[in-house]
């Protein structure tokens, strides 16, 4: 069946380095994608989104890239800080649906 | 700021008890959702609602029911709690086609 997945369950980076978190999706009908951050004991928090008519979108220190050809989504965090340590989820919305499909998450650890 | 609140952060119930989890959002969102989150399984959709008194089953509706009598409030009901319903429960709301905003979660333990 269709699924949203992540390439790596954990990622460890040095403070100040750039982080890249990857996500593969298999539903070619998906037209909306979101990255969420979840800190321990909290609900997921919206970071950035992108629609299928775009291939790149930038926010504050974050960039989302969408490659529809290979059904791949990535989140880039510039100058990673200790406060970025969290679990990051990608989510996709199949076209004309109200609900989202979430990946299992990648745990990002930032080493001082 | 959008605010989604859940009635309890931690809850301990006994097997067979009826459990109510309440969720309230203050942004006049049309859609509301209930998920459960388990290690290694990510977020799984239990039910969602796209309007008052409307509901749709998600991926894992068995053992759960929902109620949406008012636009801002979406309740999840466990008719007879079982130990395999021990989990983190997350409520979310959104407008159609836009990001979901999540509450802080309720960690439910069924003993």
DSSP, collapsed to helix, strand or coil, labels residue B95 as coil
3 state SS of A82? helix
Best mutation site among B5, B8, B33, B42 for testing chain A: the one with the most A CBs within 10 Å?
A: B42
Torsion of CA A34, A35, A41, A42, to 10 degrees: -50
Given a cut of 80, whether residue B2 has pLDDT beyond it is: no
pLDDT for B42-54, tens place per residue? 899 999 999 999 9
Q: How far is A26 from chain B (nearest CA, A)?
A: 17
Contact at CB, A99 and B45, closer than 8 angstroms: yes
Residue B102's contacts (CB-CB under 8 Å, 6 or more residues apart) are A36, A43, A44, A45, B4, B90, B91, B92
Per-residue pLDDT reduced to its tens digit, A90-104: 999 987 777 888 888
- Tell me which residues of chain A, numbers 79 to 98, contact chain B at a CB-CB cutoff of 8 Å: 89, 91, 93, 98
Positions of E strands within A39-85? 45-51, 56-58, 62-67, 72-77
Best CA proximity match to B66, nearest among B6, B14, B7, B23: B23
């Amino acid at each position: 069946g269709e699924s949203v997945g992540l390439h790596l369950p954990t990622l460890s980076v040095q403070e100040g380095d750039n982080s890249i978190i990857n996500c593969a999706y298999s539903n070619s009908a998906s037209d909306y994608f979101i990255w969420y951050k979840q800190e321990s004991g909290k609900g997921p928090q919206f970071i950035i989104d992108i629609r299928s008519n775009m291939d790149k979108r930038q926010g504050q220190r974050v960039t989302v890239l969408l490659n529809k050809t290979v059904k791949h989504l990535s989140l880039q965090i510039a100058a990673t800080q200790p406060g970025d340590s969290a679990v990051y989820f990608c989510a996709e919305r199949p076209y004309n649906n109200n609900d989202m499909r979430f990946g299992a998450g990648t745990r990002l650890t930032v080493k001082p | 700021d959008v605010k989604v609140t859940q009635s309890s952060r931690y809850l301990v119930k006994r097997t067979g008890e009826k459990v109510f989890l309440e969720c309230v959002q203050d942004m006049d969102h049309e859609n509301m959702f209930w998920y459960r989150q388990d290690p290694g399984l990510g977020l799984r959709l239990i039910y969602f609602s796209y309007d008052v008194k409307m509901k749709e089953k998600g991926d894992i509706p068995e053992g759960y029911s929902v109620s949406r009598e008012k636009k801002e409030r979406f309740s999840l009901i466990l008719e007879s709690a079982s130990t395999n319903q021990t989990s983190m429960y997350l409520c979310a709301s959104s407008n159609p086609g836009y990001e979901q905003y999540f509450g802080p979660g309720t960690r439910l333990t069924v003993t």
